[in-house]
């Protein structure tokens, strides 16, 4: 019988027998009992540390996991509402590493956009926007997509890519009695993501209605301190015609940057957009 009992003790020992205990001081929680526990051959004995610290760590890990889950649900909700077209398929794999930066302007644009993406949570906290202006085929959408991809992959945040024309159509459709969304909901869709990439500004007609839509869109995000990347083939002086003066002012607030893509088109040069 004694032999069986000793076998049981050694089995318990494998799964974590308390070998020793000591009173110690935790800088945060004061005195606690530290237990040295044997974990068998797989892992050597280890001290338990402060139990209150361990509890706090667990609570924090739960909170982080919960937050990630909430963000993921928000991202899914946006995707299911607009389809999976957050970033157009053509730009789905665009990154900073596959952007060709030959001249000084391209290198500078790449550096600003890469920094913006890497520090996005800090920029987002201040609602800091970006304006990418210049000719077609200079890589504006490429760099914006790279920012969007980085923000989604690295930070699990939501990014939505949309053209100005699509926004205007979506708002216009809300006036239709047969449409499922009303005007408020139409703007809410674009106000929700952590980052909105608004492409092809200035391709539309520059009517008063279109300026109003652009203002409502950028303003709702501005008030929520959420950044917007505006992409346009129009120059700095022309942009207010399509968005209104106030919109351009808001995009420049809190250190919002304007990047001019002033080089020639790279299309047909092995490099799209
Ligand atoms: Zn502690």
- CA–centroid distance, 28 to ligand 1, in Å, is 5
CATH number, domain containing residue 123: 3.40.50.300
Is residue 2 scored above 60 in pLDDT? no
| Nearest-angstrom CA–CA distance, 92 and 220 | 27
- What gap in Å lies between CA 120 and CA 113, rounded to an integer? 10
**Number of helical (H) and strand (E) elements in the chain, helices listed first:** 10, 8
d(CA 75, CA 155): 12
Residues 65 and 199 in one domain: no
For ligand 1, the distance from its centroid to the CA atom of residue 52, given in whole angstroms, is 5
Does 182 or 112 have the greater pLDDT score? 112
Does any domain span residue 5? no
- How many domains are there within the chain? 2
Same domain, 94 and 70: no
Write the pLDDT tens digit of every residue in 199-243. Answer: 999 988 888 899 999 999 999 998 889 999 999 999 888 988 888
pLDDT at 36 exceeding the cut of 60: yes
Q: Same structural domain for residues 65 and 94?
A: no
pLDDT at 203: 87
Residue 20 CA to ligand 1 centre (angstroms): 19
- Distance from the CA of 117 to the center of ligand 1, in angstroms? 36
| Residue 20: domain span | 16-84
- In angstroms, what is the span from residue 9 Cα to ligand 1's centroid? 31
In a domain, 6, yes or no: no
Q: What is the mean pLDDT of residues 35-53?
A: 79
Query: Same structural domain for residues 51 and 62?
Result: yes
Instruction: Please indicate, yes or no, whether residues 220 and 126 belong to a single structural domain of this protein.
Output: yes
């Amino acid at each position: 019988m004694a032999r069986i009992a000793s076998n049981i003790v050694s089995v318990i020992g494998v799964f974590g027998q308390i070998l020793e205990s000591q009173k110690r001081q935790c800088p945060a929680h004061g005195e606690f009992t530290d237990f040295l526990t044997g974990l068998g051959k797989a892992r050597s004995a280890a001290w338990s540390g402060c139990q209150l610290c361990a509890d706090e760590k667990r609570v924090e890990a739960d909170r982080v996991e919960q937050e990630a889950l909430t963000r993921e649900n928000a991202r899914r909700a946006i995707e299911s509402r607009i389809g999976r077209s957050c970033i157009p398929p053509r730009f789905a794999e665009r990154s900073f590493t596959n952007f060709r930066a030959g001249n000084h302007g391209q290198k500078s644009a790449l550096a600003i956009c890469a920094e913006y993406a890497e520090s996005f949570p800090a920029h987002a906290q201040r609602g800091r926007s970006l304006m990418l202006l210049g000719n077609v085929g200079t890589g504006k959408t490429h760099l914006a997509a790279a920012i969007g991809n980085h923000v989604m992959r690295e930070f699990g945040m939501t990014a939505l890519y949309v053209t100005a024309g699509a926004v205007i159509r979506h708002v216009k459709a809300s006036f239709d009695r047969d449409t499922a969304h009303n005007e408020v909901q139409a703007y809410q869709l674009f106000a929700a993501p952590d980052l909105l990439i608004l492409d092809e500004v200035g391709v539309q007609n520059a009517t008063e209605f279109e300026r109003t839509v652009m203002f409502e869109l950028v303003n709702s995000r501005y008030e929520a301190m959420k950044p917007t990347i505006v992409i346009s083939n129009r120059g700095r002086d022309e942009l207010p015609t399509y968005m209104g003066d106030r919109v351009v002012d808001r995009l420049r607030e809190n250190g919002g940057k304007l990047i001019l893509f002033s080089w020639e088109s790279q299309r047909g040069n092995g490099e799209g957009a």
